[in-house]
Structure 1
Amino acid sequence: MEAVQVILPCWNEVAALPSVLASLPAGFTPLVVDNGSDDGSAEMARSLGAVVIDCPERGYGAACDAGLRAATAPVVAVMDADGSLDGADLPRLVAPILGRSADLSICSRRPAGRAAWSWRLRFANRRLAGQLSRRTGIKIIDLGPMRAARREALLDLDLRDRRSGYPAETLIAAADAGWRICQVDVGYAPRIGKSKITGTPLGALRAVQDLRAAIRS
């Protein structure tokens, strides 16, 4: 199997990192992108054997971009570091990329109960996915936070968003470039610890605004 690096954007996830890193299957190497944590996340990740890079520019997109540029493997996956996603799902997500039947593989989340995904966020995700479907001409079910592609191809997309609009921009740029996009069902559990973005009304609003701006651009 080709080498795969897993980019883990991280902002104060010290409680979740042990289980997240332990969930990664053999052959999937973690690359933790510390986005200004002050809870010891970087130190925890290093103590568990993960490569850690610092990304002083705040924002989900900034962390993803820093991880992509620091990665060395031909295939990369992105996964949240909050414990909501299971690394055991990565082989199924990456399989279409390794088999060259798809150019971008994104997850479609199956929440494990209401605690994993509030109805407000689920409704917002559905609306935004519908907008993305109309924009790209591809039936999008979820703006999933777990995705995989070939590293050089992603760099060639020249993505610019450095905030929460990054996943939407990725899908739009990939569709515009004629990429084959597939969606893979994965489990979705309650995150470990308090959410810094979608866990607050203001944070959720900003994330939705960023995604809408990316779709409309």
Structure 2
Amino acid sequence: MDPDVDVVLPCLDEAAALPGVLAALPARYRAIVVDNGSRDGSPEVAAAHGATVVSERRKGYGAAVHRGLEAATAEVVCFLDADGSLDPAALPALAAPVLAGTADLAAGRRIPVRGAWPWHARAGNALLAARLRRRGVAVHDIAPMRVARREALLDLGVGDRAFGYPLELLLRAGAAGWRIVELPVAYRPRTAGTRSKVSGSVRGTLRAARDMAAVLR
């Protein structure tokens, strides 16, 4: 039997999506919801649905993700957006190569369904992924769904605490010679009543692009 796996879900005002996301987690996948300043009761909703809830006062995607990584206790840790756009049922297939020791990092390559990925976000992601491939990191998505071993992630020393976190993680993993695999995952419209902090607006996409450009520099 595979060991327990912790699932870190950075969260900012995702009360509408959390019940469905948490209910869909596979057995032995334990939710750690990292509240990043929600005002809609997200922490209470998460706790009521069985998640471990921790708080991160410093604003930023990377700050929330790193706080969840620190709070995790499982050897293998997954990262998943809390807005319902990614199916938690995909996690075991993604975690399998890491648990088997055949990959150091598994990343979900998003396959959009029903127009779930706005053009501006998709274009920015494609550009950044192309720049990563030119640096020898063979990925096609700056993936929000990822799996790796906790201690190895901490040892990478990722310093970005904003939207540049996943890009810096991939850069550092590539430089360290990690075995990185990509697997397709369905990317769905987020739960009604939630809004992406990145792709929900051109402004959000530009802010994320700014953070990631700083990492590339």
Same-fold call, TM cutoff 0.5:
yes
Q: Could you tell me which runs of 5 or more consecutive residues in structure 2 were left unpaired when the two chains were aligned.
A: none
SS at match of 2:85: coil
Deviation per residue, 1:81-122 (Å, 9 max, x gap): 0000000000011001000000011110010122x1012211
Q: Which amino acid aligns with 1:81?
A: A
Q: 1: distance between equivalents of 2:52 and 2:17?
A: 16
Q: Is 1:26 the counterpart of 2:2 in the alignment?
A: no
RMSD: 0.9
Deviation (angstroms), 1:204: 1.2
Deviation (angstroms), 1:20: 0.5
Q: Which amino acid aligns with 2:144?
A: P
**Conserved in 1, the CA contact under 8 Å of 2:105 and 2:180?**
yes
**Percent of paired sites with the same residue:** 53
**Conserved in 1, the CA contact under 8 Å of 2:120 and 2:205?**
no
Q: Which amino acid aligns with 1:89?
A: A
Deviation (angstroms), 1:36: 0.4
Q: 2: distance between equivalents of 1:183 and 1:201?
A: 27
Q: Which amino acid aligns with 2:35?
A: D
Q: Which residue of 2 aligns with 1:127?
A: 127
Q: Which residue of 1 aligns with 2:105?
A: 104
Deviation (angstroms), 1:63: 0.3
Deviation (angstroms), 1:50: 0.6
1:202-213 matched pairs, under 5 angstroms = 202-213=203-214
- Shifted more, 206-215 versus 154-163: the winner is 206-215
Q: Could you tell me which runs of 5 or more consecutive residues in structure 1 were left unpaired when the two chains were aligned.
A: none
**Conserved in 2, the CA contact under 8 Å of 1:198 and 1:207?**
no
Deviation per residue, 1:133-163 (Å, 9 max, x gap): 112x132111110000000000001110000
**Conserved in 1, the CA contact under 8 Å of 2:17 and 2:82?**
yes
Deviation per residue, 1:61-97 (Å, 9 max, x gap): 0001000001100000000000000000000110010
Q: Which amino acid aligns with 1:183?
A: E
Q: Which residue of 2 aligns with 1:37?
A: 38
Q: Which residue of 1 aligns with 2:173?
A: 174
Deviation per residue, 1:136-191 (Å, 9 max, x gap): x1321111100000000000011100000000000011111111000011000011
SS at match of 1:98: helix
SS at match of 1:127: helix
Deviation (angstroms), 1:128: 0.7
Q: 2: distance between equivalents of 1:109 and 1:19?
A: 20
Deviation (angstroms), 1:194: 2.0
Q: Which amino acid aligns with 1:122?
A: R
Q: 2: distance between equivalents of 1:128 and 1:56?
A: 28
**Conserved in 2, the CA contact under 8 Å of 1:107 and 1:145?**
yes
Q: Is 1:61 the counterpart of 2:65 in the alignment?
A: no
TM-score, L = length of structure 1: 0.96
Runs of 4+ in 1 over 4 A off after TM superposition: none
Q: 2: distance between equivalents of 1:40 and 1:140?
A: 36
**Conserved in 1, the CA contact under 8 Å of 2:117 and 2:199?**
no
